[in-house]
Structure 1
């Protein structure tokens, strides 16, 4: 066959689009912790029928972003201090191992990608686009898994990533001083990875996540 070969990508289903939209709205704080997100309300807001909304809520329940309570409705997850502590411990464990695996085979590529994200974060801070900065913060930590070469480790992180991002947006991003300190910590992590000082980078990562935990727990206590 002559010409350009390749499969034509299938159009995304309405359920996928609604799931992505609702996930983004929860992560970005459009819906607050514990807020009721009824099928009727979401269907009206998104201009769709209840069926894709119901399927989206089911998918996000699996990710831990939504709690479906029988005869009461669907609600955005509402973490306790213990929930946040567990989430941060889980995150630190997975990110630490993902970094070790990534630097073993793709340290240069990882650092190049992290450098690009840090540059983007700096520009977003300068123009005070804090929502974009929060998204880039998520991209920074996600990059560890892009190069780890282990789908199971990546899948384990996928299960908690949205909750991690939501906690960051809702509970830590509003603090300007924490945001500035966080940016400096990201820079330090990349610098040490670039220099091959993995132990220091991992220690910085642990401190970085623990400071996030302290701020977040203080907000819900």
Structure 2
């Protein structure tokens, strides 16, 4: 007898969910700048839908921290300060190192393959001077730590900040021209250390790599009294 689960009909995505995914991708890729106003009317026209699914989508993106709704002013892409970036870096480093330890222990072969694939994509993006492709490959590089760590709670915890981190990464890549000018060599070094299972050396390189975001951001984002790291 065929199991009832096999007979279930897969529900199509709602229009709002499709808009959420496309908008999220556009913000992370840098097609919308940090702090940029997002017009509901223009989005509705662009997507060929009514304003209702647009509003639903923006509400979801607000809950994930990618947009901010300001009463009587409109909806804007989030605009982080240096203090915000510092908090994200602390959160990211803590989670990435734990995810790395677990994925290296549980799925080392698959992790090595995924990381090398991302480095190959970064190389191609650099050669093509494609900052958006580089940012996507960069995101895939770090996402592999979580996809292969075997712990859904750690993976879900990273998802909370992943969109904001991706948007900041893209924004800084745009501001500084060629993508990955300073971080590409670190990605290659991280890949080599993962292959060698050298967790101590990885910790040192990851610390330098993650905090580079804050150092680069100092010239691109507004100062904030809450920033503590020199």
Report deviation, 1:69.
1.8
Offset at 1:6?
7.1
Kindly state the Cα deviation for residue 29 of structure 1 after the two structures are TM-superposed: 1.9
Aligned to 1:154: 155
RMSD between aligned residues: 1.8
Find the counterpart in structure 1 of residue 75 from structure 2: 74
State the distance in 1 between where 2:8 and 2:121 align: 33
Higher mean alpha-carbon deviation, 91-100 vs 67-76, is at 67-76
Aligned residue in 2 for 1:90: 91
Preserved contact between residue 125 and residue 133 of structure 2 (Cα < 8 Å): yes
Q: How is 1:159-170 mapped onto 2 (pairs within 5 angstroms)? A: 159-170=160-171
State how far apart, in whole Å, the 1-side matches of 2:72 and 2:43 are. Answer: 18
Q: Can you give the 5+ residue segments of structure 2 that lack an aligned partner in the other structure?
A: 223-230
Where does the alignment leave 5 or more consecutive residues of structure 1 unmatched? none
Q: How far, CA to CA, are the matches of 1:43 and 1:191 in structure 2?
A: 46
| Partner Cα separation in structure 1 for residue 130 and residue 211 of structure 2 | 25
The offset of 1:49, in angstroms, is: 0.6
User: What is the TM-score with the length of structure 1 in the denominator?
Assistant: 0.92
**Per-residue Cα deviation, 1:153-198 (whole angstroms, up to 9, x for no partner):** 1111101101000000002454257713311101100101111111
Asked if residue 27 in structure 1 is aligned to residue 28 in structure 2, the reply is yes
Specify the alignment match of 1:216 in structure 2: 217
User: TM-score, normalized by length of structure 2?
Assistant: 0.89
In the superposition, relative to structure 1, how do residues 12 and 178 fare at CA in structure 2: closer, same or farther (>3 Å)? Answer: closer
Change (3 A) 1:59 1:33: same
Maintained 8 Å contact 1:84/1:217: no
